Structure 1
Amino acid sequence: MNRSPVRTTIQAESGIPFRLVYADTKSPQNELPDHLHDWHELIYVYRGQGTIFIDMGLEDMTEGDLFIIPGNTVHRALPDEKNPVTSSALFFSPVLLASAAGVSSSALLTLFERCRKRRVYKRQLSSAERSTVAALIEDIQHEFELNNHLSAHAALLRLQLLLITLERLDATDPENPPRPVPGPSWLSATLSSIDDKLRNGLSLPELAQQAAVSPAHFSRAFKRYTGMTLTDYALARRVIMAKEHLLKSDATMASIADACGFESLPHFYRQFKKLTGTTPAAYRRTMSS
């Protein structure tokens, strides 16, 4: 049975589009399946072990790891059953920073765009960096617990400081190369080239032939390492590409549907709403307002 990525809606705290799930110990039984949401996400790992699937493949999760997940990126955590990960996850809408005082919101979000372009979502922090990041997250949790009339503003200021800190850390290692995708080398090549093939349609036999494996082996390995079938992964990528077109261009719906490889305009509308819960036109209006 195919399992498409799940669209999730993050519940805001303190009346602002910002949420912190603090020092939560993960359970494999309670983790979400492959999912995506419009908000950006930061995950800091305190202890434990596990893996996480983000867009291009699997990454190990260990103490001191930081994951930077841009909005509209398919991901899923896979905690170890015997030694599960304990982590904090911060979720926030990009529009939260639109009125940030004293600094450009685009500057605060550059880190997420770099991660998206590089497809490198993990940073292993040094001991000093861990202390700084953990302290800022703890401060945000403290403000939410206070829950007074200035708590939301104070939490937002600390989020801005955390993003500035991470931007500076990333700038010290600008040439951080993409990590190889776990699994066979052909899987990495396939994932890297899928976006270019979406418009003309994906053919399992052709992809398997290029990988020099049988279609059955290709399907099994793809599902094992990504958690999704090729069909579900391609749909997620098409919807993500469509969202980018909707926000960054004035192209017609028909043009966007064609550019992203949907079979027809009705197919585009149907699949977009299935995965996002809204129509393409409504998404463009909401996110552009």
Structure 2
Amino acid sequence: MEHSPVRTTIETESGIPFRLVYSDTKSPQNELPDHLHDWHEIIYVYRGQGSIFIDTGLEDMQEGDLFLIPGSTVHRALPDAGNPVTSSALFFSPGLLASTAGGMSSSLLHPFERCRKRRIYKRQLNHAEQAQVSAFIDDIHAEFRSDHHLSSHAALLRLQLLLIFLERLESATGPGHATTSLPAPSWLSSILSDIDLKLRNRLTLPELAQQAAVSPAHLSRAFKRYTGMTLTDYVLARRVIMAKEHLLNGDETMAAVADACGFDSLPHFYRQFKKLTGTTPAAYRRTMVRHR
């Protein structure tokens, strides 16, 4: 059976669209596939080292790093083989806050919107900030482990307190700083930017390799090394993200969306969109519009 490299669904046992993967150590062999989901994600690193590809950039991961990753952002962690990262990851649906925090929800989500706009996803925390974030995560973990009937709601309240802390941190100290961890070749950034500009067109490995002045085989190997995914998978993920934006922000026909996002045909669009998201484009539009 063909296995998609993009994880699209997040299972939760709490009964609400909110999940915590607590203090988990991952090696390159058991690291989760690259994510392409609609939930926002917070990653806090306790120890170890590695790198993480987010959107179109590569950053290092080390003790005290905090990553805010907005929904529908391609990302893939690449743990170090000798000293893998131990981290906690919080996943939650943005709509969850709209239903519980009322008019405050947009303010709580400001940090994610800033990250998306600036393409800066990482903040290096000082010791006091690390202790505070770690305590919030520990409290959420304790609530999820409790069998009290209000535990999931208590966990959600602690998530809101964590988001308030992060918003205040931004106001007090300014944005985080993006750092590139690996000496990625200069042509990689050029290729990533060009892919975004030309998603509507047919993109071929030989053409991209010619632009980068490297062989197709070298481009393929290097792209996988630095991003953790194949060029084909990355392009497909970016096209699905673009399609999601078209579906939410307009009333275009499905054929028009497929054409605008570079899919070969309407059946190809339907097939690939469902493969990566678990739902059809029409069902996705209906669901997301209903929850706005």
Q: TM-score of the superposition, structure 1-length normalised?
A: 0.91
Whole-Å Cα distance in 2 between the matches of residues 192 and 171 of structure 1?
Answer: 30
SS in 1 for 2:29: coil
Equivalence for 1:25: 25
* Shift in Å, 1:178: 4.9
* Shift in Å, 1:280: 0.2
Specify whether residues 114 and 194 from structure 1 end up closer, same or farther in structure 2 by C-alpha distance, changes over 3 A only.
farther
* Partner AA of 1:211 in structure 2: A
Deviation per residue, 1:201-248 (Å, 9 max, x gap): 223333233323333322222122112222211101000111122122
Equivalence for 2:230: 229
**1:56 maps to 2:61:** no
Q: How does 1:31-180 map to 2 (within 5 A)?
A: 31-101=31-101, 103-172=103-172, 174=174, 178-180=178-180
SS in 1 for 2:200: helix
Contact 1:7–1:277 (Cα < 8 Å) also in 2 = no
Give the gaps of 5 or more residues in structure 1.
Answer: none
Q: CA RMSD in A?
A: 2.2
Whole-Å Cα distance in 1 between the matches of residues 274 and 153 of structure 2?
Answer: 34
* Shift in Å, 1:147: 2.7
Contact 1:70–1:113 (Cα < 8 Å) also in 2 = yes
Specify whether residues 237 and 279 from structure 1 end up closer, same or farther in structure 2 by C-alpha distance, changes over 3 A only.
same
Contact 1:118–1:178 (Cα < 8 Å) also in 2 = no
Equivalence for 2:187: 186
**1:244 maps to 2:245:** yes
Contact 1:181–1:188 (Cα < 8 Å) also in 2 = no
Whole-Å Cα distance in 1 between the matches of residues 207 and 48 of structure 2?
Answer: 40
* Shift in Å, 1:258: 1.5
Specify whether residues 3 and 172 from structure 1 end up closer, same or farther in structure 2 by C-alpha distance, changes over 3 A only.
farther
Whole-Å Cα distance in 2 between the matches of residues 164 and 36 of structure 1?
Answer: 25
Equivalence for 2:217: 216
Equivalence for 1:262: 263
Whole-Å Cα distance in 2 between the matches of residues 166 and 273 of structure 1?
Answer: 34
Contact 1:45–1:62 (Cα < 8 Å) also in 2 = yes
* Partner AA of 2:261 in structure 1: C
Whole-Å Cα distance in 2 between the matches of residues 246 and 131 of structure 1?
Answer: 41
Whole-Å Cα distance in 1 between the matches of residues 191 and 170 of structure 2?
Answer: 28
Contact 1:26–1:86 (Cα < 8 Å) also in 2 = yes
Whole-Å Cα distance in 2 between the matches of residues 47 and 123 of structure 1?
Answer: 15
- Could you tell me the percent identity over the aligned residues? 77
* Shift in Å, 1:125: 0.8
* Shift in Å, 1:102: 5.6
Tell me whether 203-212 or 113-122 shows the greater mean CA deviation. 203-212
Q: TM-score of the superposition, structure 2-length normalised?
A: 0.90
SS in 1 for 2:100: coil
Specify whether residues 231 and 102 from structure 1 end up closer, same or farther in structure 2 by C-alpha distance, changes over 3 A only.
closer
**1:206 maps to 2:229:** no
Deviation per residue, 1:161-204 (Å, 9 max, x gap): 11121122233454656545740111112212321111122233
Whole-Å Cα distance in 1 between the matches of residues 117 and 260 of structure 2?
Answer: 19
Contact 1:57–1:225 (Cα < 8 Å) also in 2 = no
Whole-Å Cα distance in 2 between the matches of residues 49 and 263 of structure 1?
Answer: 40
* Shift in Å, 1:62: 0.7
* Partner AA of 2:126 in structure 1: S
Tell me whether 252-261 or 74-83 shows the greater mean CA deviation. 74-83
Deviation per residue, 1:240-281 (Å, 9 max, x gap): 111122122222212211211111211111111111111100
Contact 2:205–2:216 (Cα < 8 Å) also in 1 = yes
Whole-Å Cα distance in 2 between the matches of residues 134 and 257 of structure 1?
Answer: 43
Give the gaps of 5 or more residues in structure 2.
Answer: none
Whole-Å Cα distance in 2 between the matches of residues 181 and 167 of structure 1?
Answer: 26
The structure 1 segments of at least 4 consecutive aligned residues displaced by more than 6 Å after TM superposition are: none
Equivalence for 1:279: 280
Contact 2:121–2:176 (Cα < 8 Å) also in 1 = no
